[in-house]
A and B are shown apart, each in its own frame.
Chain A
Amino acid sequence: MYCSLQSNVFWLLNPKPSAKIPKFRSRRLETTKSMPQAERPEHILAGAVQYSKSERDCKKMKFAVKAWSKSGRARVGLLQLSSTSNSFGQGGPPAKEIEIETPALLLTTRKGLPAFISPDHLSSLPSPDSRLLQFSPMHFMEGPNSKTISTIGGVHQLLGLHDYGFFAVPRDSILSLPECSSSNKNGASFETPCGRFLVKPVEYMKMISSMKPDLYVSLADEVHASVTVKRNKASVDRTIRWLDDCISLKPTDGALFGSIVGGCSIEERQHCAQEVAKRNVAGYYIGGFGLGDSVDERSTLLHAVTDLLPKEKPRQVCGLGLPEEILQGIAAGIDLFDSMYIYHLTLGGFALIFPLDGNCKHVFNPQLSAMASDGTKINLKATIYRKDASRIVDGCNCYTCQNHTKAYINHLLNVHEMLAQILLEIHNTHHYLSFFRLIREAITEGKFEEFRQKFIEKRRDHLLAASFSTCDLQTPVRSRA
């Protein structure tokens, strides 16, 4: 499972939940400032363990960096989620242990389950890659109330997915959109299908207590890129204050990620990052992206934040979904991503086909019109697929490719049958998870920057783009939907 490392490195992480406390205490590393780039050797392991607050906790999160890229920012890590269970004998949930390598993709859900992939099919996706599910507590505004969710036993029980890691993030791009104009000093406002809600820290933490996710993000005031300087500053102040509220209201279970905002202002971002880094949190959520900000400025802002954060704690970002954006985020040192990309592709009838290794299995066919394929994805509604009895991607091990043809999916799309979306979400998720796996391999082999450049070039090959000069990898890429 772990990629072979070239230098003789070791790591101190003991995977067993009942492990003895390793020598490196997290406290010491928390105060270590980040090393300047030049001094950081390649492939060093920062062995660090971050336990969630109380040793009495049922749920534990551990994270450790395993390998670094040449630039010293992108990294491969190992995230461990475990839960011991005191109530298993009395009908409670069983203990679980999830070990997942980062950078990793959090699967997007609606009310905790994927939009189309039912639980029995979910388990056929690559594991443990597919074991992290993201949801917003606001999904349940039109669902069972907190008391009922508590009675049922929390989200794992509610969704019948005990072996999965649940990550609660207030913001979600389908069902819980931040509505910054309605947020105020008391709480953050979200637009949901059943109305707009102002959520205060105490209410938010009440939801978290009843839902008991493995990981959750503190309530943040994420603002649109176009807000005034004053509003942006207020969002930082509120976010820090709400983080402190969340910390003091913290339930005994689950790992808290501190939210960092600051919009498009480098200074505000840095200020927020410094403040949050002082708090005792298990990881960091970098919010405010994908809300009207430009991709060009994003790298600078991301670097400004990640340079100030402790290396050994995981970082998550929301709203960077396209492959180039993911690569951009990873280059800045982000470990966890959610993505709406799969959902939008699936709804549109698209299937991902971009090559997953050096041996390009999908031959780019210049005769295929742009309507049908662009080298990244194919539009299965296109009539050329009517009689195509081949699978979406030759060699893909997902349920869809192993069992169905392009012709069948084309038919399902034409007659508006739900099975089309189910099959597409399965394939697209599988494909995107493989993309993440490739990235991790590239980082471990010290080839991440080359991988990124090659990937972007291949994407550009299919565009009628003007010629470009040598790609400066620090400059973010203009991505195309």
Chain B
Amino acid sequence: MMALRFEVLGRFNRARAARLTLPHFTCETPLFMPVGTQGTIKGLTTPQLEEIGCQIILGNTYHLALRPTSELIDELGGLHKFMNWPRALLTDSGGFQMVSLLHLADITEEGVTFQSPVDGKPMLLTPEESIQIQNRIGADIIMALDDVVKTTITGPRIEEAMYRTLRWIDRCIAAHKRPTEQNLFGIVQGGLDPVLRDICVQGLVERNLPGYAIGGLAGGEDKDSFWRVVAQCTASLPESKPRYVMGVGYPLDIVVCSALGADMYDCVYPTRTARFGTALVPEGVLKLKHQSMAEDTRPIDSTCECMVCKKYTRAYLHCLVTKDAMGSQLLSYHNLYYMMQLSRNLHSSIIQGKFPEFVCDFLRKMFPRGDVPEWVCNAMEVAGIDISSCCTPFNSKVNLHTLSK
């Protein structure tokens, strides 16, 4: 018996809109998950997050295990109760943070060895330990500990990491004590190599997990490689289970991945960029710190229905951002609202059979001169979405190529 139900409610080619039922909340996909690293989304309260429409929030196992510790969270009734978040939660395995944050982290067959940031003692995070920590935290979805390697690295390390990930998934499954309440997702690794990715997908699918993530991306690889990996994985992962692209990201990336058949995304980008004074808008970004905003009496986005856009001008926000905590709060609020609205639009446009129109509208606003990047054109072609109306013929290199042949 799984703690998850996934029902596809509508499709357009590879894209799908679904209902994802989790122990704490019933979600609609495609969806974006904000990152609440340390048990809070920076500066936003539960009612605000509900108002914005957040469905699932991510917690970072590495940070929570350090402070306040998973034992304390468990003692106080789990992370939902601790932070008073009634909807769904997802925790990552802790491995990625360790590798990226700790200088002396190293990966062996046993697990991830590192120096404790608290007292410098050598420590080891094994797959078993990661799952136990996540069991204590109590999120609806937990992630397997994987051997994650940057996509910019080449060579035998990638293959090693992929096979190790498969060996570790079995250890994670064995260690998982709460399968009826928490869903263990496996993570597909394999770098940019389609053969390795395929082996990993097959291996994970054999384990019949509740859901699958596409890992190892969003780490600096070129966009063309990025979308191809996503396309390959979504093509071979089971239809009836959710697909989560980890670390994505930019609104454009989310639209493309959704067209290719992915369902779930997470990224620190919207909240992090808010703290630097950057707002997300249909045209791209609006840098509120810029001097040109100082006397601009328009809202951030006249089409946005959020509290911030209904009340405040760019001029006022300009004087708050990067200087006052309130600026950070208001901008995070808007940016997350933008991401949630994007999620809602993706879901509803697929269900209403208007997904291509939505995609074209999105691209037209973001690229008013028709200069849609080539990788997007290529990905949309594979996804079977006609975006020729958004691209100027000059920029549509794919079309030129086929014509000249």
A, B from the same assembly: yes
Residues of A within 8 A of B (CB): 110-111, 113-116, 118-121, 140, 142-145, 147-148, 151-152, 158-160, 193, 386-387, 389, 399, 403-405, 407-408, 410-412, 414-415, 417-419, 421-423
A78 to chain B, nearest CB (A): 29
Q: Which residues of B contact A411 (CB under 8 A)?
A: 38-39, 67-68, 82
Contact partner of A418 among B42, B315, B320, B330, CB < 8 A? B42
Contact across chains for A419 and B43 when beta carbons are under 8 A apart: yes
Q: Indicate with 1 or 0, residue by residue over B286-302, a CB within 8 angstroms of chain A CB atoms.
A: 00000000110100000
CB contact between B326 and one of A115, A142, A423 (< 8 Å): that residue: A115
Asked whether any CB of chain A lies closer than 8 Å to the CB of B325, the reply is: yes
- C-alpha spacing A46/B315, complex, angstroms: 45
* Given the contacts A148-B315, A159-B316, A118 and B326 also touching, CB distance less than 8 Å: yes
Instruction: Report the bound CA distance from A345 to B83 in whole Å.
Output: 22
Contact between B319 and A142, CB atoms less than 8 A apart:
yes
Tell me the nearest residue of chain A to B310, going by C-beta: A160
B226 at the interface (CB under 8 A from A): no
Bound Cα distance from A408 to B326, whole angstroms: 21
The answer to whether B84 has its CB under 8 Å from any CB of chain A is yes
B319 touches A143 (CB 8 A): yes
For A152, the chain B residues whose CB sits under 8 A away are: 297, 313, 315-316
Distance in Å: Cβ of A195 to nearest Cβ of chain B: 14
B19-73: which residues lie under 8 A (CB-CB) from chain A? 38-40, 42-48, 51, 63, 67-68, 72
Closest chain B residue, CB of each to CB of A404: B84
Q: Tell me the smallest distance from the CB of A436 to a CB of chain B, in Å.
A: 24
Most interface-central of B51, B323, B326, B329 (chain A CB within 10 A): B326
Most buried by B among A114, A386, A389, A419: A419
Decide if A148 touches B297 in the complex (CB within 8 Å): yes
B189 at interface by CB-CB < 8 Å = no
User: Which residues of B are found within 8 Å of A389, using beta-carbon distances?
Assistant: 76-77
CA gap between A142 and B216 in the complex, in Å = 44
| Residues 322-361 of chain B, each 1 if its beta carbon lies under 8 Å from chain A, else 0 | 0111101110010000000000000000000000000000
**Cβ of B329 and Cβ of A386 under 8 Å apart?**
no
Determine if B75 is an interface residue (Cβ-Cβ < 8 Å).
yes
B49 to chain A, nearest CB (A): 11
Is B307 part of the contact surface with A, judged by Cβ < 8 Å? yes
A418 and B68 in contact, given A111-B319, A148-B295 (Cβ under 8 angstroms):
no
A116–B323 CA distance with the chains assembled, in angstroms: 12
Shortest beta-carbon distance from B336 to chain A in Å: 13
From residue B95, how far is it (CB to closest CB) to chain A in Å? Answer: 20
Do B316 and A158 touch across chains, with their CB atoms under 8 A apart? Answer: yes
Assess whether A145 is in contact with B295, with CB atoms less than 8 Å apart. yes
Summed over the interface, the residue pairs from A and B with CB atoms below 8 Å come to a total of: 117
By a beta-carbon cutoff of 8 Å, the part of chain B in contact with chain A is 38-40, 42-48, 51, 63, 67-68, 72, 75-77, 82-84, 294-295, 297, 307, 310-313, 315-316, 318-320, 323-326, 328-330, 333
Nearest 9 CB-CB pairings of A with B:
A160-B311, A143-B319, A144-B315, A418-B43, A415-B38, A148-B295, A419-B40, A411-B68, A417-B40
Question: CB-CB < 8 A to A158: which residues of B?
Answer: 313, 316
Tell whether A414 pairs with B68 under 8 Å between CB atoms, given A113-B326, A115-B325, A115-B326: yes
How many angstroms from the CA of A61 to the CA of B62 in the assembled complex?
Answer: 56
Identify B329's interface contact among A118, A387, A414, CB under 8 A: A118
B35 to chain A, nearest CB (A): 13
Q: Complex: how many Å from CA A213 to CA B307? A: 23
By the criterion CB–CB under 8 Å, are B82 and A407 in contact? Answer: yes
Shortest distance between the CB of B74 and any CB in chain A (Å): 11
Residues of B within 8 A of A118 (CB): 48, 326, 329-330, 333
Contact B45 A121 (CB under 8 A): yes
Q: Are A111 and B320 in contact (CB under 8 A)?
A: yes
5 A-B pairs with CB atoms under 8 Å apart are A113-B320, A144-B294, A148-B294, A410-B68, A414-B68
CB nearest neighbor in B for A112 = B316
Contact residues in A for B67 (Cβ distance below 8 Å): 411, 414-415
Flag if A144 contacts B68 (CB, 8 Å).
no
Task: Please name all residues of chain B whose beta carbon is closer than 8 Å to the beta carbon of A386 when the two chains form the complex.
Answer: 68, 72
Query: Is A422 a contact of B45 with CB atoms below 8 Å?
Result: yes
Given the interface pairs A143-B316, A148-B297, A407-B76, the reply to whether A116 lies near B325 with Cβ below 8 Å is yes
Report B-chain residues with C-beta under 8 Å of the C-beta of A423. Answer: 45
Knowing A143-B316, A407-B76, the reply to whether A115 touches B43 (Cβ < 8 A) is: no
Of A118, A159, A160, chain B has the most CB atoms within 10 Å of the CB of A118
Q: Is the CB of A144 within 8 A of B307?
A: no
Bound state CA distance, A111 and B76, in angstroms? 39
A111 and B311: CB pair below 8 A? no
Most chain B C-beta atoms within 10 Å of own C-beta, residue among A159, A403, A414, A417: A417
Residues of B within 8 A of A120 (CB): 47-48, 51, 307
Q: Which A-chain residue is minimally distant from B329 (CB atoms)? A: A118
Q: How far is the CA of A102 from the CA of B196 in the complex (A)?
A: 73
Q: Which of B48, B297, B307, B324 contacts A111 (CB 8 A)?
A: B324
List, in ascending order, chain A residues with CB within 8 A of B68's CB: 386, 407, 410-411, 414
Please measure, in the bound complex, the distance between the C-alpha atom of A203 and the C-alpha atom of B268, giving whole angstroms: 44
- CB <8 Å contact, B319 and A419: no
Contact (Cβ within 8 A) A144 B295:
yes
B83 touches A418 (CB 8 A): no
Report A269 CB to chain B, min CB distance, Å: 36
List residues of chain A with CB within 8 A of the CB of B319.
111, 140, 142-144
Contact status A422-B76, CB under 8 Å: no
State A414–B64 Cα separation when bound (angstroms).
12
Q: How far is the CB of B360 from chain A (nearest CB, A)?
A: 33
Cross-chain contact B82 with A408 (CB below 8 angstroms)? yes
Q: Which residue of B lies closest to A118 (CB)?
A: B329
Q: Inside 8 A of B307's CB, which chain A residues have their CB?
A: 119-120
Give A142's nearest chain B residue, CB to CB. B319
The chain A residue sitting closest to B314, CB to CB, is A144
Contact (Cβ within 8 A) A387 B75:
yes
Q: How far is the CB of A203 from chain B (nearest CB, A)?
A: 18
Query: Given A148, A193, A414, which contacts B323 in the complex, CB threshold below 8 Å?
Result: A193
- 16 further A-B pairs in the complex, CB-CB below 8 A; given A160-B312, A418-B42: A111-B319, A115-B325, A142-B319, A143-B318, A144-B313, A145-B295, A159-B316, A403-B45, A404-B84, A412-B38, A414-B68, A415-B38, A417-B38, A419-B40, A419-B43, A423-B45
Q: Tell whether, in the assembled complex, residue B325 and residue A421 are in contact, meaning their CB atoms are under 8 Å apart.
A: yes
Give CA–CA (A151, B82) in the complex, Å: 46
Q: How far is the CB of B187 from chain A (nearest CB, A)?
A: 26
Partner of B311, one of A119, A140, A145, A151: A119
Q: Is the CB of B311 within 8 A of A115?
A: no
Is there an interface contact between A412 and B40, defined as CB atoms closer than 8 Å? Answer: yes
B323: which A residues are within 8 A, CB to CB? Answer: 142, 193
A432 CB, nearest partner CB in chain B, Å: 20
* Residue in B closest to A193 when the chains form the complex, CB atoms: B323
Distance to closest chain B CB from A87 (angstroms): 16
| Chain B residue with Cβ nearest A144 | B315
CA distance in complex: A119, B83 (Å) = 22
In the complex with contacts A151-B297, A417-B38, A116-B315 CB distance below 8 A: no
Chain B residues whose CB sits within 8 angstroms of the CB of A421 once the complex forms: 325
Q: How distant is B51 from chain A, measured CB to nearest CB, in Å?
A: 8
How many whole Å from A172's CB to the nearest CB in chain B? Answer: 14
Q: For A404, what are the chain B residues with a Cβ–Cβ distance below 8 Å?
A: 84
Chain A residue numbers with a CB within 8 Å of B38 are 411-412, 415, 417
Say whether A408 contacts B83, CB under 8 Å: yes
- Within 8 Å by CB of B45, from A142, A145, A159, A419, lies A419
Contacts of A113 in B (CB 8 A): 320, 326
Instruction: Give the chain B neighbours of A412 by CB distance below 8 A.
Output: 38-40
What is the chain A residue whose CB lies nearest that of B328? A418
